[in-house]
């Protein structure tokens, strides 16, 4: 087998491409989780209304918590990849391309973060995330509590679900604050 001379720069570019492919896949998956959540919410509400059983709304909190947590974890990994490219990979490649120079590799990774509307978009995204994954299931619980059609066991389950949703909400806010601090 002939000897191949692979440079550090080539390896870094392959790593970059692999990371961007993973990031792109995670973005698609994350964004689809919102649509899945909306579809599940609509289906459960329609089924509960058609059956006239508010206890069916108890399906929403666990589904929204699982989908919301998956959304949050993927969003965090997407951000972590971007941070790694900005803080580690880009500077390494820039140093190889122009040692001691002012070349910035992957300038888009930092450039788009300077958009003056970025903070407002992040705030709106926080509201959307909280609404989809936390407010909707909490509203379902309120409707269930207002018209309890189950026994004490279902009420106990609903309280545990409420705690899980509030826990998710705190994580959504905590991650959003962490992302804002990194700006």
Tens of pLDDT, residues 21-64: 999 999 999 999 999 999 999 999 999 999 999 999 999 999 99
Query: What is the predicted pLDDT for the residue at 161?
Result: 98
- Residue 168: the pLDDT is 98
Rounded to the nearest 10°, the torsion over CA 66, 67, 71, 74 is 60
Establish how many alpha carbons lie within 13 A of residue 138's alpha carbon, considering only the half-sphere containing its beta carbon.
14
pLDDT of residue 3: 64
Phi-psi group of 52: left, alpha or beta (phi > 0 → left; psi -120 to 50 → alpha; rest → beta): left
The predicted pLDDT at position 16 comes to 94
Collect the ranges in the chain with pLDDT lower than 50. Answer: none
pLDDT of residue 79: 92
Q: What is the pLDDT of residue 150?
A: 66
Q: Helices marked H in the chain — which ranges?
A: 8-51, 60-84, 90-97, 108-111, 118-130, 136-146, 152-181
Q: Which residue has the tokens 């978009």?
A: 121
pLDDT at 182: 58
* Measured distance CA(167)–CA(2) in Å, rounded: 57
- pLDDT for position 61: 98
């Amino acid at each position: 087998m002939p000897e191949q001379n692979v440079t550090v720069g080539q390896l870094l570019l392959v790593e970059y491409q692999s990371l961007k492919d993973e990031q792109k896949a995670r973005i698609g998956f994350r964004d689809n989780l919102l649509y899945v959540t909306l579809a599940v919410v609509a289906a459960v509400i329609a089924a509960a209304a058609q059956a006239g059983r508010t206890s069916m709304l108890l399906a929403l909190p666990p589904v929204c918590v699982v989908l919301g947590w998956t959304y949050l974890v993927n969003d965090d990994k997407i951000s972590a990849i971007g941070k790694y490219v900005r803080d580690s990979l880009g500077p390494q490649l820039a140093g190889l391309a122009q040692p001691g120079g002012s070349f910035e590799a992957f300038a888009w990774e930092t450039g788009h973060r300077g958009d003056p509307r970025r903070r407002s978009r992040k705030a709106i995204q926080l509201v959307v995330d909280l609404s989809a994954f936390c407010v909707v299931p909490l509203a379902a619980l309120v409707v269930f509590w207002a018209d309890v059609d189950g026994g004490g066991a279902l009420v106990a389950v609903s309280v545990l679900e409420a705690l899980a949703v509030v826990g998710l909400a705190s994580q959504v806010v905590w991650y959003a604050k962490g992302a804002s601090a990194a700006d």
